[in-house]
Structure 1
Amino acid sequence: MYHPYFRGKQFELLALRESAEVLAEASFVPIIEPVRESLNGLERALAAISQAGGRAIVIVNPRHGDHKEGGAIISSFLGENYGGNDAVSAGILLLASTSVDEANALISDHTDHNPVIVHSGFTAARDIGEFLRNHAIAATNVFSEDQASMLYRKHFEGRGRVLIRDGFEQRKNADYEPFEFFSDLHVTFRDLGMDGYGDFLTVGDRFTEGGGPAYAVAIHLTYIDPDNDEAMYVYHFKSDSNDTPTDPANKFAEALVKLIAKLDSPDSKLLETSAVAEFRRLHEAGHFPGLGYIKKLSMRHHIETLAAYHRSADA
């Protein structure tokens, strides 16, 4: 149903590990694009997901990071650790630069790994559709919405189809409005003929190796709005002292005060997730855990919010 798309940085993988039981219980299947040379963090995240009874998709030919020139080590890792195990599928990323021959070879090399095809800029939909039919390969197809048109997606009707939409618009932290629309895909994906949906959580699709000094600190938390057809929105709680990159701990404290005030207000629509409970503890302790930790909590909150929505909607 829901397929959160993670880039395999440290805190993304930690968010996955800590959310493993929530993901498994909700039948959510994360897509992981490894971007670091070492696969130790990925291995621990997949172990947690597998032990919880969940499933995951691992991109074997990443677009970004340390494996973008070749993912042979990822394929070997999957073969050695998850060969014949349906809990972990090989994700084949098809880009504008991917040739038909390259795409066919990638799919053929991973037929034993329950392949999932991620369409992100590739144009030869007819050729790949025919290849899958001719070789009786029952692959799920995941489409990046802004890089796979509706006409493109029609070539894969009758197969498992998932639509990924980037609901998080990345800006400088100081430039965010207090809240904005995130997505309604969790409500509408079936109306669009899809079997599932996904997003890039509260990180966004644009990949960066690392951020510079933080002039402003922002806490991004999503929520479902029952007064607006169950659409999802995102709050941006920002610091006030944004003129210099000094004292990130104080900037976090300023943003956290605003988050706690919203949580304690009668008009808050934020779900009291385990991540929110952790934000409350940080506020009480006056502790700054680091910017990566804050991002991890935001991702965990997003997953728990959607899990709660689907529990309620499916009840």
Structure 2
Amino acid sequence: MYHPYFRGKQFELLAIRETAELLAKSSFVPIIEPVKEALNGLDRTLKAICSVNGKAIVIVNPDYGDHASDGADISALLKAGFGDQNAIAAGILLKDSMSVNDAFQFYQTHQDHRPVFIHAGFTEPKALAEKLGDALVSTQHVFVEKHCGKLYWRHFKGSMRILLRDGFERRKNADYPPVEKFSDLHVTFEEEGMNGFGDFLMVGDDYSEGGGPAYAVAIHLTYIDPGKDDVMYVYHFLSTTNNTPTDPAGKFGQALAKLISKLDSGTSHLFEGTAIAEFKELHSKKHFPGLGHVKKLSMKHHIETLANFLS
């Protein structure tokens, strides 16, 4: 049903491993685009998913990172370590530069791993649907919404269809408003004719290798508002100090204090699962775990929020 899209950096993979049991229990299927040359972390993550009878989709032809020009090592990992695992599917990223024949060749090469098409700029949907022929009904398609609309999706009617919406608008940390709408897709995906939905969590679809020093520190947390038709919103808890790139620990403390204050108000609508419990513990200990860890907690909280809502 829910397909969170991760780029396979260290803290993204940690977030998946630490929520593997919840993902499996909720029938959530993460999509992972490996971006780092070393695949040890991905291997551990996929084993963690398999150990709890979960599922995942691994993109074998990434658009970003160290495997962007050649995904052979990813395919080899799936074949060697997960050849007999029905749980791990091969994701085929369909970009604007890909031909129908290229797409179909990926599909045939990865037949052993239940290939999933991820539409992200591809321009020949009708021709691909015709090429798949009778096999279309047994295929799965993930549509990145900003690249394709209803006229595009309709070519794949009858197949398993997932709509992926980027609800997170990336800005400089200091420019985020206190709160803004994230998405309503978790309540409307069936009305769109879809079998499931996905998003890019608190990271967004824009890829970057790593940020520079943070002038402002932000904690991004989603919540669902039952008083507004269960629309999902995102809080941006910002540090008060944002004029120098120094003291990230102090800035995190400022942002965290705002989060705790909102929780204490009793009006936050934030789901209080393991991620919020850890934020509270960090506040009580006055501990700064590093910005990567903070991002991981935000992603875990997002997964916990949707699991609670859809349970």
TM-score, normalised by the number of residues in structure 1 = 0.97
Bigger mean CA offset, 129-138 vs 298-307: 129-138
Counterparts in 2 of 1:258 and 1:104: CA distance versus 1, 3 Å: same
| Whole-angstrom CA distance in 2 between matches of 1:242 and 1:173 | 9
Matched, 1:158 2:163: no
AA aligned to 1:205 is: D
* TM-score normalised by the chain length of structure 2: 0.99
Once the 2 structures are TM-superposed, how far is the Cα of residue 18 of structure 1 from its aligned partner?
0.2
1:224 corresponds to which residue? 224
CA contact (8 A) 1:132 1:138 kept: no
Q: Which amino acid aligns with 2:187?
A: V
Counterpart CA distance in 2 for 1:246 and 1:289 is 16
In structure 1, what is the Cα distance between the partners aligned to 2:186 and 2:149?
19
> Equivalents in 2 of 1:132, 1:274: separation in Å?
44
2:61 is the alignment partner of 1:61: yes
In structure 2, the residue matched to 1:263 is: 263
Say if 2:136 and 2:156, in contact at 8 Å, map to a contact too: no
Range 210-219 or range 146-155, more displaced: 146-155
The correspondence of residues 69-88 of structure 1 with structure 2, limited to 5 A, is 69-88=69-88
Give runs of aligned pairs for residues 3-152 of structure 1, distance below 5 A.
3-134=3-134, 138-152=138-152
Q: Is the 8 A contact 1:111 1:137 kept in 2?
A: no
Paired residues, number: 311
Partner of residue 285, structure 1: 285
Asked whether the equivalents of residues 218 and 255 of structure 2 are also in contact (C-alpha less than 8 Å), the reply is yes
Q: Deviations over 1:68-103 (max 9, x none)?
A: 001011111101111132100000000001112211
Identical counterparts, % of pairs: 61
Corresponding residue SS for 1:57:
strand
Residues 55/222 of structure 1: CA separation in 2 closer, same or farther (3 Å cut): same
Task: Give 3-state SS (helix, strand or coil) of 1:243's partner.
Answer: coil
The letter for the 1-side match of 2:301 is H
Could you report, residue by residue, the CA deviation over 1:14-66 in whole angstroms, capped at 9, with x for unpaired residues?
A: 00000101100000000000000010110111111111110000000000000
Backbone CA RMSD of aligned residues = 0.9
- Partner amino acid, structure 1, of 2:167: G
Structure 1 gap ranges (5+):
none
CA-to-aligned-CA distance 1:119-152 (integer Å, 9 cap, x gap): 0000111111112225567220000001012111
Q: C-alpha separation between the residues in 1 aligned to 2:57 and 2:83? A: 13
Equivalents in 2 of 1:192, 1:135: separation in Å? 23
**Displacement, 1:185?**
0.2
Runs (4 or more) in structure 1 with deviation over 4 Å come to 134-137
Listed one character per residue, the Cα deviations across residues 235-255 of structure 1 (whole Å, up to 9, x for unaligned) are 000001100000000000000
Question: 3-state DSSP class of the match of 1:264?
Answer: helix
Deviates more, 1:76-85 or 1:13-22: 76-85
Letter of the 1:183 partner, please give it.
S
Q: Structure 2: which 5+ residue stretches go unaligned?
A: none
Q: Which residue of 2 aligns with 1:308?
A: 308
Secondary structure (helix, strand or coil) at the match of 2:105 reads helix
- Return closer, same or farther for 1:157/1:137 CA change in 2, 3 Å cut-off: closer
Does residue 199 of the first structure (1) align with residue 199 of the second (2)? yes
Q: Spell out the pairing of 1:174-253 with structure 2 (5 A cutoff).
A: 174-253=174-253
Paired AA for residue 155 in structure 1 = H
